[in-house]
Amino acid sequence: MTDPYLLAKWLHILSSTVLFGTGIGTAFQMVWAMRTGRVETVHSVASGVVVADWIFTTPAGLFQPLSGLWLVHLQGWSLTEP
């Protein structure tokens, strides 16, 4: 049987890695596209960045707080106590 805390922790770390990596990667792509000064290139790259954001960044960004709350719950901590 898998330990629920280790599973939640692993998924939280994986999600943060996807979020950070995709953010850095798409920002890098956009910077290089903007440096060309070509509208067609910027448009093409920006379209791909939007798709990547919807596929990778959005789900990871939504999952981060949920998995964080899951970890808090599994540890038995309270969100209302200091």
Domain ranges of the chain: 4-74
Q: Is the pLDDT of residue 1 over 80?
A: no
Percent of the chain past pLDDT 90, that is, above it, reads 95
Q: Record the pTM.
A: 0.85
SS3 assignment for the chain: CCCHHHHHHHHHHHHHHHHHHHHHHHHHHHHHHHHHCCHHHHHHHHHHHHHHHHHHHHHHHHHHHHHHHHHHHHHCCCCCCC
